[in-house]
Amino acid sequence: MILLYAVTLFVSATLVFAVQPLFTKMVLPLLGGTPAVWTTAMMFFQGLLLLGYAFAHALDRLAPGRRQALIQLAALGAGALVLPIAIGDAWRPPADADPIFWLLAFLATSVGLPFFALSATAPLLQRWFAASGHARAADPYPLYGASNAGSLLALVLYPLAAEPLLRLGEQSLVWSGGYALLIALTAACALTLPRRARSCAAAPAPPRTALPWALRLRWGALAFAPSTLLLGVTTFLTTDIAAVPLFWVVPLALYLLTFIIAFARTPIVPHAIVVRAQPWFALPLVLVLFWGSSTGLIEFYPVHLATFFVTALVCHGELARTRPAVEHLTAFYLWLSIGGLLGGVFNALVAPYVFTQVIEYPLAVAVALALRPTDAPRRPLAVDLGYALILPAVLFLLAQIEGSTEIAAGLVLIGVLSAAIALALIAFRAQPLRLGVTTGLALMVGVFFVHDQGGTLARSRNFFGTVAVVDDGLYRLLMHGTTVHGVQGRDGVERLEPLAYFTREGPLGHVFAALKERLGGARIAVTGLGAGAIACYAEPGQSWTFYEIDPTVVAIARDPRYFTLLRDCAPEARIVLGDARLTLAEAPDAHYRLIVLDAFSSDSVPVHLINREAVRLYLAKLEAGGVLVFNITNRYLDLVPVVAALANDAGLIGYVRGDQAVEPERHRYSSGWVVLGRSIVDVAGFAADPRWVALAAVRHGRLWTDDFSNVIGAFRW
């Protein structure tokens, strides 16, 4: 019997965690590939998980015996009516409004019903097992390990097997088959319930003991901290690399692994050891966050992930240690889901509209440290707060000095600051509240008084990420996360020169020089606006259109207080707000002579703009003899094989050029560009130049489509 329940829970959890990356990948093309899609989807799934647990809790209280099982089977059957999972053509996000509520409605109508039914399965099955009369029925919590093992397997297999081997439609069919299997297994488990209509608990059931509210709130808090920490660390990863399932799955897999370890009958790592180790793991992360060393350095990611894993293990270990008797099992899971949902709401709905920077991540670290268990005697709150204010005050004063000193003296102060942080965290490790408040305030000093050092002129945050305008004295930079999206010289001849990846000496400059005669009076489209640097290639008589998904970027590029490239180079340029794939489709066919695809210089690549269907759209909007130009500059992804496969599929002639003439002090960056034409005549200006390599001569990757993409295969390992 225990094998039947374990297999059923395993299948249920596998389905729960397989549908999340599957459906989120389906919806990504509609929203520009932003990492916020995953954060919002996670919040939605946590909300449905709460509803499912509340449903299970209500059934446990109100529906006796097999009647409870019939209701759950009916819910699973209702969910099957909307399968297989697919996205209808009628759904289209708003171009001029925040899409978060549109996305939530989309998720609810497309996958809400089956996910709700799945969410109720785990607590109900454990409750049924408790009523089965099995020798281990008194402690069904280890079955939670089977559930989390299924979740972990689903997450690991998705990026390693499902994504690279199966198209989205095939993945949906496989998932539907698994859902049918779950219904059959759940029915088999229902047959083990007592035939008589009575409570799932053993009869006669003793009166239920009351749960202290302090314990319920602590369960919620212990679930909240790792939930918000999970989303925070995921945002860090996906912003700097790519919004793809691999980088969603790694933190979530670690999160689930902590549940498996914590709720095992005999945990492989004793809880007390993990609690003692946590501050030593947190210390390097706090230093990294304080100094702002999250700027795209992949070497720091193990620090983030290791600290997240240990911290989540501490919180989940506390949940396992304080779990209640079987009679309160469904209430326990209900409070866990409440805490998890609040973490998702905080990251997806509150943080982007309250904070202009991603500070919910360091705040989550501080909250988790404040929840550490301790045997030390409690101190008065005023005493803890008094001690907690000392370090941030010292850090603030020293940070002001460090920002105005010579390099050598500055390095000494950096060492002093780091030592002060380390000593405080070590000294306060037995006083959780003091430790958490100290850490949170210290990190806020780092965020607001160390990272910027006065160079940030503007900062804004929305669904599409964090955008900042930074002035380094000679140049003005537009930053999206940690990626430069535009540069303008403040004075002199460089004020209207295209810099960064767009220099006249680089590949893009050669493109406009080679096509100069053919572009007279032409209509030109550019996907991705940035600061408007490409507009500096505009010539009299041309008609330029920029397609940009982020309204904040448009506002900054048009604001002469920050950038004047658009105003001075192409004042008549039209800007179309919305996802480029959707808005470009509205342009007349054969309308543009040149289309520049500049949506890939950020490391969070919108894969729906670089696949077969996208190329077909571009060609439909390109006039005879027109040229496509791709900016494939990327820190972590090699997109040359991807574009080569697309060119081969569409029968296009293409050339690729990399530019390594780097001058960082003048903001001239290395870049990679590809030109594509329907015939050799269209790209004749590049065939004779040895700096441009024929795409036919490079390795082709597997063709990307709306139904298939494999970012892992393009990763620069």
* pLDDT at position 199: 44
Most confident of 58-62, 91-95, 192-196, 454-458: 58-62
Residue 481 has pLDDT above 50, yes or no: yes
Whole-angstrom distance, CA of residue 322 vs CA of residue 341: 20
Whole-angstrom distance, CA of residue 212 vs CA of residue 201: 21
How would DSSP label each residue in 210-256?
PPPHHHHHHHHHHHHHHHHHHHHHHHHHHHHS-SSHHHHHHHHHHHH
Whole-angstrom distance, CA of residue 33 vs CA of residue 55: 34
Tokens 């603030």 -> residue? 396
Q: What pairs with residue 489 in β-bridges?
A: 475
Kindly report, residue by residue over 613-640, the tens digit of the pLDDT. Answer: 999 999 999 999 999 999 998 877 889 9
Residue 235 has pLDDT above 50, yes or no: yes
* pLDDT at position 139: 66
* pLDDT at position 238: 65
Dihedral angle sign, alpha carbons of residues 559, 564, 570, 575: negative
Half-sphere exposure of 47 (CA within 13 A, CB side): 18
Range 113-120 average pLDDT: 90
Range 282-290 average pLDDT: 86
Residue 391 has pLDDT above 50, yes or no: yes
Whole-angstrom distance, CA of residue 322 vs CA of residue 219: 8
Kindly report, residue by residue over 495-509, the tens digit of the pLDDT. Answer: 899 999 999 999 999
- Per-domain boundaries in the chain: 2-196+222-370, 381-453, 491-714
Range 233-250 average pLDDT: 63
Range 218-225 average pLDDT: 94
* pLDDT at position 13: 84
Whole-angstrom distance, CA of residue 423 vs CA of residue 295: 26
* pLDDT at position 617: 96
Kindly report, residue by residue over 158-186, the tens digit of the pLDDT. Answer: 877 887 888 888 999 999 999 999 999 99
Kindly report, residue by residue over 563-600, the tens digit of the pLDDT. Answer: 999 999 999 999 999 888 888 999 999 999 999 998 76
Mean pLDDT of the chain: 83
**How far separated are the first and last CA of the chain, in Å rounded?**
45
What is the CATH code for 491-714?
Answer: 3.40.50.150
Kindly report, residue by residue over 484-493, the tens digit of the pLDDT. Answer: 888 999 877 7
How would DSSP label each residue in 517-582?
GGGTT-EEEEE--TTSGGGGG--TT-EEEEEES-HHHHHHHH-TTT--HHHHH-TT-EEEES-HHH
* pLDDT at position 378: 74
Residue 221 has pLDDT above 90, yes or no: yes
Range 690-711 average pLDDT: 87
Q: How confident is the model at residue 140 (pLDDT cuts 50, 70, 90)?
A: low
Range 312-337 average pLDDT: 88
Beta strands 592-597 and 523-527, pairing class: parallel
Encode 375-436 in three state secondary structure: CCCCCCHHHHHHHHHHHHHHHHHHHHHHCCCCHHHHHHHHHHHHHHHHHHHHHCCCCHHHHH
Comparing 601 with 7, the larger pLDDT belongs to: 7
* pLDDT at position 204: 46
Comparing 395 with 650, the larger pLDDT belongs to: 650
Q: What percent of the chain has pLDDT over 70?
A: 86
* pLDDT at position 513: 94
* pLDDT at position 410: 53
Kindly report, residue by residue over 7-45, the tens digit of the pLDDT. Answer: 888 888 888 878 887 887 777 766 655 666 767 887 888
Comparing 399 with 363, the larger pLDDT belongs to: 363
**Residue 318 has which token pair?**
């506390």
Residue 72 has pLDDT above 70, yes or no: yes
Tokens 């990327």 -> residue? 634
Kindly report, residue by residue over 245-274, the tens digit of the pLDDT. Answer: 456 678 888 888 898 888 877 778 899 999
Q: How confident is the model at residue 295 (pLDDT cuts 50, 70, 90)?
A: very low
Q: How confident is the model at residue 555 (pLDDT cuts 50, 70, 90)?
A: very high
Whole-angstrom distance, CA of residue 94 vs CA of residue 102: 8
Residue 449 has pLDDT above 80, yes or no: no
Residue 407 has pLDDT above 60, yes or no: no
Residue 319 has pLDDT above 90, yes or no: yes
Q: What percent of the chain has pLDDT over 90?
A: 33
* Domain 2-196+222-370 falls under CATH 3.40.50.1970: no
CA angle 165, 167, 171 (to 5 degrees): 90
Encoded amino acid at 188, one letter: A
Range name among 269-278, 305-314, 341-350, 457-466 with the lowest pLDDT average: 457-466
In what side-by-side order are the strands of the sheet with 465-471?
456-462, 465-471, 475-480, 483-489
